[in-house]
């Protein structure tokens, strides 16, 4: 049996079946917060856009595969369509993943959804019906089913932060989820609107770290692709201000070990690291 076929059978017997049955009995109030989970799991793995080696990024199969592999959080990117639907996509257009030159903010969701047939023909491993642009609500449903931390990166106009927070609050995931962004204005808006959700600034600086420390309940990533380039004492200084920190990305077992030795708090990964890192 081919490797991809094996994983498909193992992780996606049904996309919304077994996981929902297992988790449905748990009340949201009984679930541990992000910080509680972080304290209990070392390393704490974040599936970056799901599990990209096994399924196209930011799709239902990618999210479910990452859940079944045992990561602790599922990262996604949120954009807003022309008609206001929140969807999961790193890019503002559909060209790289779906092969169509359509811009998400300028296109209604119904039109974007039709592109699933195109990618389905190219990726026969997965059910074409699942290989479509997921809504943000579908992503939250998967995170809830498998009791994973939604690690959410907001994109586009700062007004999207309010819509994302409302969706998270509706599912009672505020103390479980993480709201992240490369745009610091999104981080400021998130904290202005909500004092409980954990905030995470992508590619931050020591100066902005001080602002995050004042906001409280926050973390960041510094933009150092090579671990050896991280300035001495930077991680310790960040921790001393009560701010969590990570670097990108723990894609090999050796890198994960080095990140743990550096004292990083959570580890984004593009690969199936939970199976191999030890």
pLDDT at 21: 32
Whether the per-residue pLDDT at 2 is higher than 90: the answer is no
φ/ψ (deg, to 5) at 47: -75, 105
Whether the per-residue pLDDT at 22 is higher than 60: the answer is no
Burial classification of residue 218, based on how many CB atoms lie within 10 Å of its CB (0-12 exposed, 13-18 middle, 19 or more buried): buried
On whether the pTM is more than 0.85, the answer is: yes
> How far apart (Å, rounded) are the C-alpha atoms in residues 184 and 189?
9
- Name the 3-class secondary structure at 88: strand
pLDDT at 274: 62
Compute, in degrees rounded to 10, the torsion defined by CA atoms 241, 253, 71, 264: 0
Whether the per-residue pLDDT at 12 is higher than 50: the answer is no
Residue spans per domain, the chain = 31-94+135-276
Of 2.40.160.20, 3.40.190.10, 3.20.20.190, 3.30.565.10, the CATH number of 31-94+135-276 is 3.20.20.190
pLDDT in tens, 170-219: 999 999 999 999 999 999 999 999 999 999 999 999 999 999 999 999 99
3-state helix, strand, coil in the chain (%, to 5): 45, 15, 40
pLDDT at 119: 61
pLDDT in tens, 47-64: 999 988 888 889 999 999
Helix (H) or strand (E) segment spanning residue 200:
strand 198-204
């Amino acid at each position: 049996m081919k490797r991809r076929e094996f994983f498909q059978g193992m992780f996606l017997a049904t996309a919304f079946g077994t996981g929902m049955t297992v988790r449905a009995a748990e009340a949201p109030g009984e679930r541990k917060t992000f910080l509680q989970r972080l304290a209990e799991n070392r390393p704490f793995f974040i599936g970056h856009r799901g599990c990209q080696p096994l399924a196209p990024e930011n799709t239902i199969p990618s999210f479910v595969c990452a859940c079944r592999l045992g990561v602790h959080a599922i990262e996604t990117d949120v954009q807003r369509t022309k008609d206001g639907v929140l969807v999961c996509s790193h890019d503002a257009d559909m060209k790289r993943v779906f092969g169509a030159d359509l811009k998400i903010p300028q296109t209604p969701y119904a039109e974007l959804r039709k592109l699933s047939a195109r990618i389905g023909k190219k990726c026969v491993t997965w059910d074409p019906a699942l290989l479509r642009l997921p809504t943000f609500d579908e992503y939250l449903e998967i995170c809830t089913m498998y009791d994973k931390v939604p690690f959410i990166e907001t994109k586009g106009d700062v007004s999207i932060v309010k819509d994302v927070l409302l969706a998270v609050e509706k599912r009672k995931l505020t103390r479980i989820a993480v709201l992240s962004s490369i745009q610091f204005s999104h981080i400021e808006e998130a904290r202005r609107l909500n004092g409980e959700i954990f905030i995470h600034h992508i590619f931050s600086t020591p100066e902005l770290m001080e602002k995050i420390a004042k906001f409280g309940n926050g973390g960041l990533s510094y933009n150092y692709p090579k671990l050896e380039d991280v300035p001495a004492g930077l991680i310790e200084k960040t921790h001393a201000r009560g701010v969590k920190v990570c670097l990108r990305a723990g894609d090999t077992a050796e890198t994960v070990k080095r990140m743990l030795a550096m004292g990083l708090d959570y580890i984004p990964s593009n690969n199936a690291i939970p199976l191999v890192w030890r």
